[in-house]
Chains A and B, each alone.
Chain A
Amino acid sequence: MASERTARRAAVAALVAAAAFALAPLAAQAQGEPWWVPVGFRGHTVTAVRVQSGRLAVAIDGEGQMESGDAGATWQGIFERHGLVAPGPVPGAWQVCDGRAGHVAADTCRPDPGSPSLVAPTTAGHEPLAALPDGSGRLVAFDAEGVVWRRAADGTWARGLLLLNQDALHGPPRVTGIAAFASPLTDAVYLATDGYSVLLSTDGGEDWIRANPGLPDGVLAVTADDAHRAVYAATRDGLWVHHLQPTPAPPVYAPQDLTWRWLATAGVCVAATAAAVGGMLRLLR
């Protein structure tokens, strides 16, 4: 009789525990689009991506170049031989000139005095630097060794990020691109790496976080699309897009919802404490 009661209690306890484990993720689950969403070309290496005049263009390793006028819903081939066409100098923008970061005024580019040596722009026209859209002169850039530099608003340069070795046998991954929005949608700067996916800074390159949920580790280019509030990532497993969204946060309950939640939580704690004391008293009789 006593063993039956014990078995019944154990079964109830197991059911309660199983229900708690099963329901726990539901409470914290955030709704909405994933951080990164595949656009297409899964299984293919997308080596470059750019957005120009409202059209999205990609280069696919061994497949040629494709273009889309509807944010990746449909694609047409582009007949070019040597990569995506790079745009010319943009007045007011920051670009690489004489191997360093420089500001374009009228039709001339003047190198910034403290700038480190940077890598050359890619054939797709991607500069190895990104200017924050607030017009403060803050930049994030990377050099040939993969060191990420930051330029503060006062014009001083400092190393903002040093990538660590991938493991005991491999060095740091290659930095493959950097992007920021041209209009003041956000201060975020996206750094692409062929190994550590995409890293994100929202304070001009001082602090960095991993911004890669769902994205392959090998990212070969990134570009920002202001019109669609999107960032595209060309990866070793297709083309992916991130639409601007706030960082996931805990849900906020209305004040009137809280009373019974607090009472129920307190009730669970009191019951658990009482059960534990009762159990110990029986065990230590």
Chain B
Amino acid sequence: MGAVALALGVALLLPRAFSDPVGVDPYDARLAGVSLALLGAALLIPRLRDARAILLAVAAVTAPFCLWSATPRVLGIFWPQLDGAELFGWSGVAQMVLTVAFVVLAWLVLDPDRRPRMRLRRFTPVTALVCLGGSALLIGIVLALPAVWLGRLGIPPVALARTMPWVAPGDVLQAAAQELEFRGLLQGSLERVTRPWVANLGQALFFGLAHIAVQYQGPAGPFVPVTVVLGFVLGWVTQRTGSLWPAIVIHAVGDVAVDVGVMPGLYGF
């Protein structure tokens, strides 16, 4: 895990010293390239068998995000009439499809004792209560915190009526894909080789670092520290309930709430 994080960190940061990180060489493409190359090496070299699960989980984080990021550009070439909200919705579909493909790949190529615990089969009344209570708690905390910390300054009703039919499904698909990646594949793989709290901390840090690396480039990035804490809490909820569904629901509600109430800055969120 350390070697992978170091390789991704170098691939992400070093080119920034001599190139524009956004416009010229897409950082998400090089992260995906490095992680897919590492996964390929692990699948081909028998001695790396024990690293396959982790490398597959890392590739399942970076490659679907790269596809999510590239989808609007590609669709915009062939269907220039699509607006931003529609492109966002289709990006969510693309990310989810590729993430599910990685879950299937994990089942096909990993030894049974190395397969991650996905925790998708369990959904009890308690799980439903945790989904509702957790979502309400998240919204309550966000509303109680100072608005300027999070940028949740106002709701634009006209704009939301125009964009939400595409943006909300896109949010839900993206949140579900990320939960499959972080709290499913990554945390589930780490739990096979280390203690539960270490596995949770590891995926939470990677979740936070992923948001720092790829999401919030501008100076207005108040969400970044929140993602580490949120990742840890979602991982803990997943472990306690034995189900991934609360994390998916709470994450989806949070993402929709961000698009409803968080006002972007000059440089994006």
Contact = CB atoms under 8 A, between A and B. Distances in A.
A164 B217 contact: no
Contacts of B22: 28, 250
Given A168-B144, A213-B219, A248-B266, 7 more contacts: A150-B158, A211-B266, A272-B6, A272-B34, A273-B7, A281-B48, A283-B3
A20 B146 CA distance: 34
Interface of B: 3-4, 6-11, 13-25, 30, 33-34, 37-38, 41-42, 45, 47-48, 50-51, 143-148, 151-159, 162, 217, 219-220, 261, 263-267
Interface residues of chain A: helix, strand, loop or mixed (majority): mixed
Contacts of A247: 266
28 contacts: A17-B9, A17-B13, A28-B22, A162-B155, A164-B147, A205-B158, A208-B159, A210-B151, A210-B266, A213-B265, A261-B18, A261-B24, A261-B25, A264-B15, A265-B15, A265-B19, A265-B25, A268-B10, A268-B15, A269-B11, A269-B34, A271-B10, A273-B11, A275-B6, A277-B38, A279-B3, A283-B3, A284-B50
A20 B4 contact: no
Contacts of B21: 24, 27-28
Contacts of B146: 166-167
Interface of A: 13, 16-17, 19-21, 23-24, 26-28, 35, 148, 150, 158-168, 172, 195-196, 199, 205-213, 217, 247-248, 250-253, 258, 261-262, 264-265, 268-269, 271-273, 275-277, 279-281, 283-285
B148 A196 contact: yes
A273 B13 contact: no
Contacts of A217: 148
Identify which of B8, B144, B156 gathers the most chain A CB atoms within 10 Å of its CB: B156
B263 to A, nearest CB: 5
B17 A250 contact: no
Nearest to B142: A164
Contacts of B148: 166, 195-196, 217
Contact of A165 (B33, B48, B147): B147
Contacts of B37: 269, 273
